[in-house]
Every structure is written in C-alpha cells, then in structure tokens.
Amino acid sequence: MSDNYEKFKGLYSSKDWDYETPIWLFDSLKEIFDFQLDAAANEFNTKCDDFIDEEKDALLSDWKSNGYWWLNPPWGREYKKYSGYTIDHWMNHALQQYQKGNEGVAIVSARTDTKWWHNNVRKAPFVLFPKGRVAFLIDNIKKNQPNFPSALVIYVDDLSGDQINMLNEIGWLVQSVTY
C-alpha cells in the first residue's frame, strides 16, 4: 500500500455501511417510480413497507414486488469483513433481478473505473448522475458530504416522457447503448 493510503483511506472505505438515502432524494424518486420494495433495509431505515432485511438475505432473495424495488446497498471494507459481500455482489444481484423481470433502481458510488461498474452498471438501461454530492444519513442525521459522486442505476426497460423529465430535474440521465 502506498504511503498516501492512510491519508486518503476515507475515500476508499467507511466504518459504517448502513447509510440511509436522504428522504428528499428518495421521495423525488418514489414519485417517479412508486417503489414497493426496499431490497436492503432494516425496520429503522426502510423506505418502503415491504423490505428485505439482513435475516432474509437480499442476495439470496428475489426482489419481486407489485412495483419497482429500491436498493441502497451496504458497502465498504468493514462491511466486506463482516459479511464477505462486496458492492459487486449487490450490483450483480440487482442485474440478475432486472434480467428476471424485476425492475428497480439502485444508488451507488459512481466508480466508473471499477470492474463491478463495467460488469453490472453498463448493462442497465439508464444511469442518472445527480446534481451535486448526495449526503447520506446515519440514524436520521446528515453525515458530511461524501468524497465521491453518486449514481442511480436504473434497471427499468422503458421510461415515459414524464419520468425522463422528472429525472432530468434531479441530474444528468444517460441511456445505455449496448452494441
């Protein structure tokens, strides 16, 4: 490891892995997608009535619901030590759910240079890059701005004109082109 690792380790990892999505962002997205399932939550931070908690193990479950699923996956070095899972596991499962016909949206760090991004995110129909940095919450308390940008990975086949317009208010919407 480089000498700079200690200086910049906050860029690469987090001791907390259960950061909550800010309610303003979730409410804006729920208006667009009407989420019915929170695929990685607990009873204290869930954004939907129906949720998959640690006990049910979202990575072994289907994310089938009467609407779209929402995913704010746990991640980071400490989470990997605790569970053995990485963001690649979560995004691979999200892609598999989409391929099974279970559509939804995931919020992740915009790490466009990583393998997990290229293996999973590039296969999503749409990606939204929100304006500014998304400040996540711990126990309903806003944490410092993160040192990285976020992306919303939209595993939804078709968006209406209204959905596109609303998403463009949140950030830059990119449609995937697969050759």
pLDDT in tens, 100-143: 999 999 999 899 999 999 999 999 999 999 997 766 555 555 55
Query: Per-domain residue ranges for the chain?
Result: 14-175
Q: CB neighbours (10 Å) of residue 10?
A: 12
- Containing H/E element for 28? helix 23-33
What is residue 13's predicted lDDT score, i.e. its pLDDT? 39
Name which of 71, 76, 65 is nearest 36 in CA terms.
65
Strand pairing partners for 130?
171
Backbone angles phi, psi at 94, to 5 degrees: -60, -45
The conformation of residue 8, written as its DSSP 8-state character, comes to H
The pLDDT of 134-155, averaged and rounded, is 69
- The class (CATH top level) of 14-175 is alpha beta
Beta-carbon-side half-sphere exposure of residue 133 (alpha carbons within 13 Å)? 11
Residue-wise pLDDT for 62-113, tens only, equals: 999 889 999 999 866 666 665 667 889 999 999 999 999 999 999 998 999 9
Confidence of residue 35 (pLDDT cuts 50, 70, 90): very high
Q: What is the pTM of this model?
A: 0.83
